[in-house]
Structure 1
Amino acid sequence: MSTIGYSMATIDAFVGRELGVSDWIVVDQSRIETFAHCTGDTQWIHVNEERAKRESPFGGTIAHGYLTLSLLATLSVEIGLIPADASAALNYGLDKVRFMTPVRSGARVRCRVVLSSVERKAGGRILVKTDSELEIEGEEKPALIAQTLAMLVA
């Protein structure tokens, strides 16, 4: 996706505007287990489907909060956060993250991004802050809300 007229030169004009909404992606058990393997976070609520069906208040396994948070990067790129004329974008951190609703295995999620601020730096770099929300299909509350920071390089 791309926002018409969105570039390193015009980015300031987009502050306060929604940049877009990503496509839906499925957070299936395979993705959850791969994340668990990579991080070593193998709590039963994420990887033990039988126990989660019996004991979890969610009726099954749920995605790791950090798994859902990590999806923001890819989905923000899909939306077009990085202008086509930027040579690179670097993750600069987070100002605020709140996990609102667990993501059940098999659920579909998508990201909504609003450009909240732009700070021009030396060397043509631009620090951008977004308000991002990871929505869960069919749920009233999002999985998470986050203020993300990225450094765009000219």
Structure 2
Amino acid sequence: MNIENYSVATIGDFVGRELGVSNWVVVDQARINAFAECTGDRQWIHVDEERAKRESPFGGTIAHGYLTLSLLGGFAIEIGIVPTDASAGLNYGLDKVRFMAPVKAGARVRSRVTLVSAEHKGGGRILIKTMNELQIDGEDKPALIAETLAMLVA
């Protein structure tokens, strides 16, 4: 997705503005299981559907917090936080992450992204901070909020 008039030269004009909202993505049990295998985090509340139905306060399995956090990267690309005239956008870190509500298996999520700051670092580099709200379809409370950092290279 292209953000109209958003470029390396104009990025400062977008500070404080919403950059966009991603499409919805389903966080199904297959995705949760794949994340568990990839990370080694096989806690029952994520992967044991029968036990989670019986014992979980959520009535079933939930996504890993770090799985939901990891979705932000793809959503950021979809929204277009890296201007088309930048040669690269690199993950630089996180300033704040709060997991607010569980994402139940089968739920749909999307990200709403606002540009918080854009700091020129010299050498054609710009450090941007974005506020990401991972929304759960049909829920008032977001799954998470996160301030993410990316280094853009012009």
Instruction: Provide the TM-score with structure 2 as the length reference.
Output: 0.99
- SS state at 2:130 partner: strand
Tell me the residue number matched to 1:28: 28
Tell me the residue number matched to 2:19: 19
1:118 aligns to 2:101 (yes or no): no
- Cα displacement (A) at 1:2: 1.3
Q: Which amino acid aligns with 1:42?
A: R
C-alpha distance in structure 1 between counterparts of 2:16 and 2:143, whole Å:
22
Tell me the residue number matched to 1:10: 10
What pairs up with 1:1-154 in 2 under 5 angstroms?
A: 1-154=1-154
Kindly provide the CA deviation profile for residues 49-100 of structure 1, in whole angstroms up to 9, marking residues without a partner as x. Answer: 0000000000000000000000001001101100000111110000000000
Q: Deviation above 4 Å: which 4+ runs of structure 1?
A: none
Q: Which amino acid aligns with 1:107?
A: A
CA RMSD of aligned residues (A): 0.4
- Cα displacement (A) at 1:143: 0.2
C-alpha distance in structure 2 between counterparts of 1:11 and 1:25, whole Å:
28
- Cα displacement (A) at 1:122: 1.5
Kindly provide the CA deviation profile for residues 110-135 of structure 1, in whole angstroms up to 9, marking residues without a partner as x. Answer: 00000000100111000000011000
Q: How many residues align?
A: 154
- SS state at 2:110 partner: strand
- SS state at 2:75 partner: helix
Query: Gaps (5+ residues) in structure 2?
Result: none
C-alpha distance in structure 1 between counterparts of 2:89 and 2:14, whole Å:
17
**Percent identity of the aligned residues?**
74
Query: Gaps (5+ residues) in structure 1?
Result: none
C-alpha distance in structure 2 between counterparts of 1:15 and 1:89, whole Å:
17
